Amino acid sequence: MMISDGYGPASHTFARTFYQTLHRNSSDNPDGVPPFNWGFPLDKALVGSHRSRSSDSLITDSAAGATAFSCGLKSYNGAIGVDSAGTPCGTVFEAAKEKGYLTGVVVTSRLTDATPAAFFAHASSRALESAIAAQMLEKPYEGGERTIDLAIGGGGCWFYPSSHPESCRTDNRDLISEARQQGWDVREPPSSDKGAAEVKGPHGEQKIATSATSFNTSYDLQGQSGELPFLSLLTSSNTPYVIDVPSDSKGRAAFPTLSQLAEQAITLLADNARSKASASKKSQRKGFMLMIEGSQIDLCQHQNDPACMGREAIAYQEAAGRVMQLVDELNAKGEKTILISTSDHETGGLTLGRQIGNDYPEYLWYPERLTGVQHSGDVLSAKLLEYYRTGPGARSLRQFVVGHILGPEGGLGFGAGTSGGEITEGEISRVLECLPSSRSMVVPPIDNDDECRKAIVDVASRRANIGWTTSGHTGVDIPVFTHGGAALGEGLHGIIENTDIGKYISKLLDLDLKSISRKLNVK
Ligand SMILES: [Zn+2]
């Protein structure tokens, strides 16, 4: 299963058009991308959409959204693997483990974040990340099996004891040592990641602010090979945004792509499932269930940052294309495999077309004005505040905004002769107005208080003529895609409930979620 967190119908149109615009006439595309009818591989896999509401709101959060997929039931916003009464519910991972399948998660946020957590943990609130991290290593019930065999993602700080300088934990448990004692193959975040400046994200989580410079540029997948159970902690907190990851002269990104991570996970799980199968009777042969999340699409949309979202969404679509190929290869070997790709909800109320001013608007939006954007609003805001705090003064500040924030020197890429167009006085003023009146008043901005980030991404959105209605989530229906023969069966076509996806997985793998729920709740 793949989950594009926060990615709605407009995000999909945006991502496709942005990709076409980026690759039109580019040298890395010798075949030429047909400008109008080209599509992502997933486009051909659309089967319908799901209604995403939770038990207590017409607008779900990621926790209730993921619990709908993992337990097949509606729960309240904030619920991690518990029903609407707060009682732990059996998840497809727990039931799959009992049937002999291997399980895994790959995410670009923290492994303790709501979406992955709902598959392997039970918590009354998504904020209980210390407990969620610990549950990854624990048996969910007496006589049960470990719920998860592979975990690749950020959030390393939740695994260090509170005495550790990088720790986010509320207790002194050292989960990295505990995991190693249990036989896990653990890869820790590279030391260059530690000490990165951090701010609070939209859900109050720790988030790397200056991610562009805070990780090791020789970073790799922390080993292509590995042993199950496998725990790869890529970063201390969330992984850096795709748009902030530098590339070398050959265009190779300095941080693993979602596509690479997904392939690493599928290879490890499929190889292990195969060797496990050959050691057991043919009738007992089982495969694996993997959840791959494009987590950061959601954060970019929370921040109403169009280019940040576009780059994350393209990385997700590229990963989905690769996963579809791998699914085909497994099916060709007779190992029946399907992919389900969907989102938990839409974030930001993104819309393509925007009325600016009172005049009746033209029917236009401009993806080409965003192709030169070189960093997330998060990083640009941090750069601007740092320059204001330590730079030489007002005159050079204006030049800095024109060149490095709005302009082509690592900024939004606007200016004379660029596809973004010339920078206006109004845009410069709007960005300068975000700064506190005195440089001594600069403090690291937190989440929605980051006025400079808001001003910068608003300049980009207005230029592209796209709109946002909220920094939170919205309640629109969400597209559902499937690939692989078995997926064409009953249960996912048309407009379904998000819970039907959990029920479908359960039926497909012949799982008994109710019996797991009973075992979880033995007093
Ligand atoms: Zn979400």
Percentage of the chain exceeding pLDDT 70: 89
Q: 383 and 336: one domain?
A: no
Q: Which residues are annotated as a binding site for Zn(2+)?
A: 5, 298, 302, 345, 473
pLDDT at residue 79, rounded to an integer: 97
> How far does the centroid of ligand 1 lie from the alpha carbon of residue 367, in Å?
25
* Total tally of structural domains belonging to the chain: 2
> How far does the centroid of ligand 1 lie from the alpha carbon of residue 113, in Å?
10
Report the C-alpha gap between 111 and 107 in whole angstroms.
7
> How far does the centroid of ligand 1 lie from the alpha carbon of residue 6, in Å?
5
Residue range 443-471: average pLDDT?
91
Judged against a pLDDT cut of 50, whether residue 260 lies above it is answered with: yes
Q: How many other β-carbons are positioned within 10 Å of the β-carbon of residue 284?
A: 11
> How far does the centroid of ligand 1 lie from the alpha carbon of residue 429, in Å?
34
Q: 511 and 398: one domain?
A: no
Judged against a pLDDT cut of 60, whether residue 173 lies above it is answered with: yes
Q: Which domain holds residue 51?
A: 2-350+473-520
Residue range 323-345: average pLDDT?
96
pLDDT at residue 217, rounded to an integer: 33
Judged against a pLDDT cut of 70, whether residue 516 lies above it is answered with: yes
Provide the token pair at 469. Answer: 């209605």
Phi and psi at residue 506, to the nearest 5°: -60, -45
> How far does the centroid of ligand 1 lie from the alpha carbon of residue 5, in Å?
5
Percentage of the chain exceeding pLDDT 90: 77
Judged against a pLDDT cut of 90, whether residue 123 lies above it is answered with: yes
Provide the token pair at 239. Answer: 């992984």
Task: Answer yes or no: are the C-beta atoms of 331 and 449 closer than 8 Å.
Answer: no
Judged against a pLDDT cut of 60, whether residue 110 lies above it is answered with: yes
Strand partners of residue 294: 4
Q: 323 and 362: one domain?
A: no
Boundary (domain end) residue, out of 424, 439, 467: 467
Kindly indicate the confidence band of residue 196, based on its pLDDT and cuts at 50, 70 and 90: very low
Catalytic residue numbers, as ranges: 62
For the ranges 20-29, 306-315, 454-463, the lowest mean pLDDT is seen at 20-29
Q: 165 and 278: one domain?
A: yes
Judged against a pLDDT cut of 80, whether residue 238 lies above it is answered with: yes
> How far does the centroid of ligand 1 lie from the alpha carbon of residue 298, in Å?
6
Report the C-alpha gap between 192 and 146 in whole angstroms.
31
CATH number of the CATH domain containing 86 = 3.40.720.10
Q: 313 and 376: one domain?
A: no
The H or E element spanning position 317 is helix 306-332
Q: 147 and 158: one domain?
A: yes
Q: 263 and 400: one domain?
A: no
Task: Answer yes or no: are the C-beta atoms of 332 and 40 closer than 8 Å.
Answer: no
Q: 396 and 496: one domain?
A: no
**Average pLDDT over the chain, rounded to whole?**
89
> Tens digit of pLDDT for each residue in 43-77?
999 999 999 999 999 999 999 999 999 999 999 99
Residue range 150-172: average pLDDT?
94
Q: 331 and 378: one domain?
A: no
Q: 426 and 477: one domain?
A: no
Strands (E), 141-260: 150-154, 185-187, 198-200, 206-208, 230-233
Alpha-carbon Rg for the chain, nearest whole angstrom, is 23
Boundary (domain end) residue, out of 436, 452, 467: 467
Q: Which residues are annotated as a binding site for Mg(2+)?
A: 5, 113, 115, 293, 344
> Tens digit of pLDDT for each residue in 348-405?
999 999 998 899 999 999 999 999 999 999 999 999 999 999 888 777 999 999 999 9
pLDDT at residue 275, rounded to an integer: 84
Give the dihedral of Cα atoms 92, 93, 97, 99; nearest 10 deg: 20
Judged against a pLDDT cut of 70, whether residue 120 lies above it is answered with: yes
pLDDT at residue 218, rounded to an integer: 36
Boundary (domain end) residue, out of 422, 438, 467: 467
Through-space distance between the first and last CA atoms of the chain, rounded to whole angstroms: 33
Provide the token pair at 330. Answer: 């497994």
Q: 45 and 138: one domain?
A: yes
pLDDT at residue 224, rounded to an integer: 59
> How far does the centroid of ligand 1 lie from the alpha carbon of residue 26, in Å?
33
pLDDT at residue 201, rounded to an integer: 37
Q: 212 and 344: one domain?
A: yes
> How far does the centroid of ligand 1 lie from the alpha carbon of residue 344, in Å?
5
Task: Answer yes or no: are the C-beta atoms of 144 and 134 closer than 8 Å.
Answer: no
Phi and psi at residue 339, to the nearest 5°: -115, 130
Kindly indicate the confidence band of residue 226, based on its pLDDT and cuts at 50, 70 and 90: confident
The H or E element spanning position 471 is none
pLDDT at residue 207, rounded to an integer: 37
Task: Answer yes or no: are the C-beta atoms of 520 and 122 closer than 8 Å.
Answer: yes
Could you give the 3-state DSSP secondary structure of residue 92?
helix
